[in-house]
């Protein structure tokens, strides 16, 4: 029986620095196995995970593009329209009727993904095949960064210190793009072909070279100002690579290798733009490490157990006002409209809107976590859960519960000219000066809603909610 090396792609939709692809190709060259790539869309499971339509579209567009890119390596990409994870073992069983399978995958850390991989592993094993996992989603695989006592870090700063020590020791290396493999005529079983998406992500380029170009340009031209520019949503001061990191069009290793090249003098300098950007990439890893170590997080449990008892008000009308960008707090509304209209939101605004939902509207952070997931092009379970739990003061490095963002002073500080607000809230576009941050003085502007809550009162209520559970704990 012909051996088939199957590169089962999931969140690693790239041909450069892809351990799975390179290893399968290398193995094929050595053993004479035929190499194919496989992608299986699972819209039913995506729905279960609240995956945003814009993210689904980005994936579909990227897979079609990758099909062309892998064709230049003579590696056919079999792109299959499936439905749920439960169906996937059957795809491998069908392939296994014709070929001896060696399946190469990058490990994933969420619960259903682990169950899916275990089921496929069993199915492939039963066919006398092999299922080979590569732990390459992070530069330092989860579990590999530990305290001297061998424990997992629960706090970011010592994790980062230890992570950086490992980086200095081992450096960062990227897999080369594989060389073209020998061309073979292959008859594969018929599967339903991948459907096209709704094109909602059309503004996001999907060619690998274009994405690498964006990453390189950021490291060359923008990273030196990142430590200051990153906090101002009216400025394009961040990389906007999150959507590509989430589905693996670019890897964290590629980002850091390029950063070290372009910012050789400054990336180790405390609080330089390059060092702060590197920190953000380490945050990404931190949350993935935490997720694997604490599987209850995947079940949406708070990291700080006592906060599960907080008596949230969960008012559906206030939740709707927040979702629609109609709270009467301009910076919150502008941010939510950015999310609804573009599928992306600036980090500073993610912090402000998350804090507002939890600490001004007293709505369970899980409602917000879910809403973000259903809209974000870069939706990533670990980063989203980590971000929400941070903002809600229920997580690992959580903001202390008594530190509550004032949405108006945040607005004055981080959108000082009101440019971002005016862009997304046209009702306020004519307001000048400070009025744009709080337009409720002399008659509300242009049908813009009155504030749905009083921040001062809401703040007191939040302190009481947390005090109640902290006292019991
Ligand atoms: C409530 C909340 C929800 C969030 N949800 C997500 C999410 O679903 N997906 C997601 O990728 N990020 C999420 N973040 C983190 C962060 O807001 C985004 O990664 C960032 O805004 C993406 O923009 P960028 O690519 O320009 O980031 P840059 O500032 O250029 O940072 C580079 C990369 O580092 C990573 N990163 C940056 N900040 C963080 C962080 N705080 N935590 C983890 N990784 C980080 C991202 O991969 C990002 O692309 C969330 C943050 C909060 C507060």
| Together in a domain, 363 and 452 | yes
Sign of the CA dihedral 6, 172, 239, 155? positive
Instruction: Give the pLDDT confidence score for residue 447 in this predicted structure.
Output: 85
Cα of 286 from ligand 1 centre, angstroms = 12
Any idea what DSSP says for residue 21?
A: H
16 assigned to some structural domain: yes
Find the domain containing 223 and state its range: 138-171+207-293
Instruction: Give the pLDDT confidence score for residue 471 in this predicted structure.
Output: 86
313 assigned to some structural domain: yes
Closest C-alpha to ligand 1, atom 29: 238
| Together in a domain, 126 and 237 | no
Using an 8 Å Cβ cutoff, are 34 and 112 in contact?
A: no
CATH of residue 358's domain is 1.10.579.10
The one catalytic residue in 267, 283, 344, 367 is: 283
473 assigned to some structural domain: no
The one catalytic residue in 26, 81, 280, 468 is: 280
| Together in a domain, 268 and 245 | yes
Listed in sequence order, the residues at least 6 apart from 178 whose beta carbon sits closer than 8 Å to its beta carbon are 15, 21, 22, 25, 26, 73, 75
Element (H, E) at 317: helix 316-324
| Together in a domain, 286 and 435 | no
| Together in a domain, 163 and 125 | no
Cα of 346 from ligand 1 centre, angstroms = 8
Report how far Cα 322 is from the mean position of its chain's Cα atoms. Answer: 22
Which of 263, 293, 323 corresponds to the end of one domain?
293
Q: Which atom of ligand 1 is nearest to the CA of 346?
A: 21
The two tokens of residue 36 are: 């194919």
Instruction: Give the pLDDT confidence score for residue 443 in this predicted structure.
Output: 60
Report how far Cα 352 is from the mean position of its chain's Cα atoms. Answer: 18
| Together in a domain, 227 and 96 | no
Q: Which atom of ligand 1 is nearest to the CA of 243?
A: 11
Which of 245, 261, 293 corresponds to the end of one domain?
293
Domain count of the fold of the chain: 3
300 assigned to some structural domain: no
Q: Which atom of ligand 1 is nearest to the CA of 252?
A: 47
Ligand 1 within 6 A of CB of 380: yes
Give, in degrees to the nearest 5, the angle at Cα 176 between 171 and 180: 170
CA distance readout (Å), 239 to 263, 264, 274, 329: 15, 18, 12, 27
List per-residue pLDDT tens for the chain, 473 residues long: 999 999 999 999 999 999 999 999 999 999 999 999 999 999 999 999 999 999 999 999 999 999 999 999 999 999 999 999 999 999 999 999 999 999 999 999 999 999 999 999 999 999 999 999 999 999 999 999 999 999 999 999 999 999 999 999 999 999 999 999 999 889 999 999 999 999 999 999 999 999 999 999 999 999 999 999 999 999 999 999 999 999 999 999 999 999 999 999 999 999 999 999 999 999 999 999 999 999 999 999 999 999 999 999 999 999 999 999 999 999 999 999 999 999 999 999 999 999 999 999 999 999 999 999 999 999 999 999 999 999 999 999 777 899 899 999 999 999 999 999 999 999 999 998 899 999 997 665 678 999 999 999 999 999 999 999 988 87
The one catalytic residue in 163, 365, 367, 390 is: 365
Closest C-alpha to ligand 1, atom 18: 347
| Together in a domain, 281 and 373 | no
CB atoms within 10 A of CB 212: 18
CATH of residue 42's domain is 3.40.50.620
Instruction: Give the pLDDT confidence score for residue 432 in this predicted structure.
Output: 87
| Together in a domain, 217 and 113 | no
Which of 137, 152, 183 corresponds to the end of one domain?
137
CATH of residue 277's domain is 1.25.40.80
280 flagged as catalytic = yes
| Together in a domain, 144 and 281 | yes
| Together in a domain, 459 and 312 | yes
| Together in a domain, 414 and 346 | yes
Closest C-alpha to ligand 1, atom 5: 384
Using an 8 Å Cβ cutoff, are 219 and 181 in contact?
A: no
425 assigned to some structural domain: yes
388 flagged as catalytic = yes
Instruction: Give the pLDDT confidence score for residue 332 in this predicted structure.
Output: 98
239 assigned to some structural domain: yes
Full strand arrangement of the beta sheet holding 34-41: 77-81, 34-41, 3-8, 100-106, 130-134
179 assigned to some structural domain: no
Instruction: Give the pLDDT confidence score for residue 55 in this predicted structure.
Output: 98
197 assigned to some structural domain: no
| Together in a domain, 126 and 149 | no
């Amino acid at each position: 029986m012909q051996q088939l090396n199957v590169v089962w792609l999931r969140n690693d939709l790239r041909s450069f620095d892809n351990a799975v692809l390179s290893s399968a190709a290398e193995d094929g060259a050595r053993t004479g196995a035929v190499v194919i790539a496989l992608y299986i869309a699972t819209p039913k499971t995506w729905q279960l995970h609240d995956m945003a339509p814009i993210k689904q579209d980005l994936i579909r567009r990227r897979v079609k593009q990758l099909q062309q890119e892998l064709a230049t390596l003579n590696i056919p990409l079999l792109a299959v329209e499936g439905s749920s994870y439960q169906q996937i073992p059957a795809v491998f069983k069908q392939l296994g009727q014709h070929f001896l399978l060696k399946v190469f995958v990058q490990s994933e850390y969420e619960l259903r993904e682990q169950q899916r991989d275990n089921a496929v592993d069993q199915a492939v094993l039963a066919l006398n095949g092999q299922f080979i996992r590569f732990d390459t989603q992070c530069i330092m695989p989860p579990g590999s960064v530990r305290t001297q006592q061998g424990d997992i870090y629960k706090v970011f700063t010592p994790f980062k210190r230890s992570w950086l020590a490992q980086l200095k020791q081992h450096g960062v290396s990227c897999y080369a793009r594989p060389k073209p493999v020998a061309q073979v005529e292959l008859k594969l079983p018929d599967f339903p072909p991948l459907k096209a998406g709704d094109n909602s992500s059309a503004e996001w380029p999907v060619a690998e070279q274009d994405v690498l170009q964006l990453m390189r340009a950021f490291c060359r031209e923008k990273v030196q100002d990142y430590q200051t520019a990153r906090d101002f949503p009216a400025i394009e001061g961040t990389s906007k690579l999150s959507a590509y990191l989430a589905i693996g069009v670019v890897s964290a290793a590629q980002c850091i290798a390029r950063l070290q090249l372009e910012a050789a003098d400054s990336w180790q300098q405390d609080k330089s733009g390059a060092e702060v950007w590197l920190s953000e990439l380490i945050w990404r890893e931190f949350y993935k490490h935490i997720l694997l170590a604490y599987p209850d997080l995947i079940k949406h449990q708070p990291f700080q157990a006592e906060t599960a008892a907080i008596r949230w008000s969960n008012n559906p009308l206030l939740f709707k006002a927040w979702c629609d960008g109609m709270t009467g707090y301009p910076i919150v509304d502008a941010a939510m409209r950015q999310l609804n209209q573009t599928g992306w939101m600036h980090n500073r605004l993610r912090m402000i809107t998350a804090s507002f939902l939890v600490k001004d509207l007293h709505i369970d952070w899980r409602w917000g976590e879910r809403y973000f997931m259903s809209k974000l092009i870069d939706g990533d379970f670990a980063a989203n859960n980590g971000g929400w739990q941070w903002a809600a003061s229920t997580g690992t490095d959580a903001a202390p519960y008594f530190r509550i963002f004032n949405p108006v002073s945040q607005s004055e500080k981080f959108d000082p000219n009101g440019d971002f607000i005016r862009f997304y809230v046209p009702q306020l576009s004519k307001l000048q000066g400070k009025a744009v941050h709080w337009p409720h003085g002399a008659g509300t502007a242009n049908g813009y809603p009155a504030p749905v809550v009083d921040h001062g009162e809401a703040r007191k209520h939040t302190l009481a909610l947390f005090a109640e559970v902290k006292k019991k704990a």
